[in-house]
Structure 1
Amino acid sequence: MVIEAELQEVKRARDFVALAFGAWGLEDHVARTVVSELAANAIEHGSSRGDPVVVRAYQREDGSPVVEVWDRSDVLPVVGPVDLCAEGGRGLRLMEALVRAWGVRHLSEGGKVVWAMIAPVPR
């Protein structure tokens, strides 16, 4: 699915992932949290207002679900140090704790894809 780089579009990304996981018979709580973080980061840090942001969900051959978010920026996401006084900056650290694995790959046409593999939990 393609959303616009507007923060209100994060809900559409969550709803899309919930539908995909529901179709697969999988619990979607972690996936919705993960896609919220990835989409918000793509919108806030990887896009200009109105740019397209691609959200994708699929299952690997082993049944592991993967959520991906594509944006136009080549800047890689960074899990920063813990700052207990900061109001933000915890999202990637939280996501990292929830998923089996995550990473980033650059796109040949520019931009990047941030992906997260989630443990499949039946409903």
Structure 2
Amino acid sequence: DGIGEKPSLIDLPNEILTKIISYLDIPSRLKLRVNKRLDQLELTVMNHTMNIFLNISDSQFAVYYSHSVQKKCSDIRQLSSTLKRLAENTIVRNVHIMGMTHDHTHLLSSLQHFHAYRL
């Protein structure tokens, strides 16, 4: 019973898991949402990012961090949901929006949830 079994990541105490989470990039942190415990722990660890770039077009929605693609969304609702989720524990210096039209103005309400130096 348990002798010789290797512990899994999920067996680690919360304090160690939150330390590990603090080193993960944002896409990896978003993947933690599949496990309820990891999801709740992830929300307790703040993300600090300098800039978020949103590239919005009729066919593609992407969130960039420091000009590298980090999260692509299939539709505008998914982008809005992703932004709201990131806003729960992310501090940003700047948010840059490219390609926004009048049809996308509802995204601004998602951006208002961010902890930010300047939006």
Q: Which has the higher contact order (CA 8 A, sep 6+)?
A: 1
The structure richer in helix per residue is 2
Q: Give the TM-score band, short-chain normalised.
A: under 0.3
Higher gyration radius (CA): 2
Q: TM-score, normalised by structure 1?
A: 0.26
